[in-house]
Structure 1
Amino acid sequence: MLRIAICDDSQLWLQKIETLTRGYLKKINVKYRLDLYQSGEKLLKSITSPYDIALLDVDLHSTNGIEVASQLRATNPQIVLIFVSEYVEHAPFGYEVDAIRYLLKNHLEQAFDRVMSEAVKKVREKHLRYAIVTDAGNVMVKFEDILYVEGQKRKVTYHLQNNNRASYDCNESLGDVEARLGTQGFLRTYRTILVNMRHICFLNRTHLTLTDGTDLPVSKQNSNEIMQTYNLWVGAL
């Protein structure tokens, strides 16, 4: 069941966003719980279990919407945040808390279903698991926990993000792994390397840097295609 919070200090906009949200969720036929708040303080004080999605007005009278989002993110790193505002000037603040979209109220109806579709997709992705098949047995991990996969002939090593920086060796080809992960946001950036694009924080024609600080080479021969694929993927988020 999806748990969704809507926070806007305007009763009119709160009801409008609620109507659009219920309408979209009815179309995709999912179970959900929807909670409405007219202040950031009430939202933060009322949380009993984590929300999957939060739609927040940026310009809350009593509390800054960015501060509310920051506190939600601190206690629930998996939450999908969407900002709603009358002012385009506030849009850059969304990057501070990794909001997936910034919706302008005067274009709300036109863009709402598309943005909610992105949000629901992200929530579902966070619950998906991938089986790393090792000699000792299967290890189930989230797609987002895989930093990159390194191949060497008929063996690959999965490098994960966690406190122990775990890695797992498997008897399979990188091509086979790419066939499974290529549709899940992974990109072959070098002959022996398959990277999770979620973790790329720097990319040029010769190398890239991941969120954990790992530096990896980029194929010079395929650099244009690699950068184009990555830019298209980022633009689709």
Structure 2
Amino acid sequence: MTKIAICDDSEFVRAETEKMLVKFSVQRDFDFKVKQFESGESFLEECNDFDLLFLDYQFENKGENGIEIARKIREYNIDITIIFLSGYERVVFESFEVDAFRFLVKPLEEEKLFATMLDYINKIKEDSTIAVKCYGLKQFIKEDNIIYIEGDGKNCIIHLANKKEPIECSETLAKVETLVSKKKFCRTHKSFLINMNYVDSYSHAEVSLQNNEKVLISRQKYKTFNNRIEEFILKNRRI
């Protein structure tokens, strides 16, 4: 499920945008949850909780403009996709400074919003994003945001970067292992699958990750892990 925020000082614009998204979701079987915000400052308090943001450029007497808000968002969440909404076409070039995905002119046109959402879905696929089931809904997660995955019986827990709360997934660790890249992820234990990008150090017994957590290495998997991580570091040197 994609978590969407609509941040605009106009209640009418927020309502119309959400109405179009609902129509799009019905036509395209797109699972999403939406929350509305009337100012950029109010959104900043929750910016790590969303995947996609529709952001107004000009907030009339309600705080900083959208570009300044976007700059602050990027300090905490570099992965959120930002789509600007504005009646001022001249500010489109400013939106590039904060890595905006699209710029939509008000009043919003359904056809252009739908086209933008289709491009967003294609972007998710291209960005090595996996789709997992969470309580019957699809949750899209970027592989690069996953630090490690922990098995929990018939379910698993996905631990994320950017200080996001872990995601409880209603799929087995073995199933999720088939979805992620074999070039990045390695099983260290029957209960743990790690993203090798986040390995800080390791011993025969455990792996220390960059978020200061540790996961177990089983005796049976140590040799394979040792070979995999050495090969990974040589090809993707990070230090």
TM-score, scaled relative to structure 1: 0.54
1:160 aligned partner, one-letter code:
N
C-alpha distance in structure 1 between counterparts of 2:6 and 2:184, whole Å: 41
Residue 13 (structure 1) shift: 1.1
Q: Pick from 147, 155, 160: which aligns with 2:236? A: 160
C-alpha distance in structure 2 between counterparts of 1:105 and 1:77, whole Å: 26
Structure-2 change in CA distance of 1:159 and 1:77 (3 Å): farther
C-alpha distance in structure 2 between counterparts of 1:106 and 1:78, whole Å: 27
> Root-mean-square deviation (CA), in Å?
3.2
Other-structure match for 2:181: 130
Contact 2:53 2:82 in 1 (8 A): yes
Matches within 5 A, 1:65-104: 65-104=66-105
Point out which structure has higher relative CO (alpha carbons under 8 A, 6+ apart).
2
C-alpha distance in structure 2 between counterparts of 1:133 and 1:141, whole Å: 6
Other-structure match for 2:134: none
Matches within 5 A, 1:1-237: 1-45=1-45, 47=46, 49-61=48-60, 62-106=63-107, 108-124=109-125, 125=127, 126=129, 127-128=142-143, 129-132=180-183, 159-160=235-236, 163-164=238-239
C-alpha distance in structure 1 between counterparts of 2:236 and 2:59, whole Å: 39
Structure-2 change in CA distance of 1:24 and 1:64 (3 Å): same
> Structure 2, unaligned stretches of length 5 or more?
130-141, 144-179, 198-232
C-alpha distance in structure 2 between counterparts of 1:86 and 1:39, whole Å: 17
Identity score, percent: 26
SS at match of 1:132: coil
Residue 133 (structure 1) shift: 8.8
SS at match of 1:77: coil
Contact 1:57 1:83 in 2 (8 A): yes
Residue 95 (structure 1) shift: 0.6
- Per-residue displacement from partner, 1:13-65 (whole Å, max 9, x unpaired)? 111111112221222223322000111111112x1742100000111122211
> Structure 1, unaligned stretches of length 5 or more?
143-156, 165-237
- Per-residue displacement from partner, 1:144-177 (whole Å, max 9, x unpaired)? xxxxxxxxxxxxx98437x42xxxxxxxxxxxxx
- Per-residue displacement from partner, 1:98-156 (whole Å, max 9, x unpaired)? 0111011145323101111222333453425422299x9998679xxxxxxxxxxxxxx
Structure-2 change in CA distance of 1:159 and 1:118 (3 Å): farther
Other-structure match for 2:214: none
Structure-2 change in CA distance of 1:90 and 1:159 (3 Å): farther
C-alpha distance in structure 1 between counterparts of 2:95 and 2:24, whole Å: 23
Structure-2 change in CA distance of 1:49 and 1:159 (3 Å): same
Structure-2 change in CA distance of 1:113 and 1:48 (3 Å): closer
Contact 2:11 2:38 in 1 (8 A): yes
C-alpha distance in structure 2 between counterparts of 1:29 and 1:116, whole Å: 12
C-alpha distance in structure 2 between counterparts of 1:48 and 1:7, whole Å: 11
Structure-2 change in CA distance of 1:43 and 1:140 (3 Å): closer
C-alpha distance in structure 1 between counterparts of 2:31 and 2:17, whole Å: 18
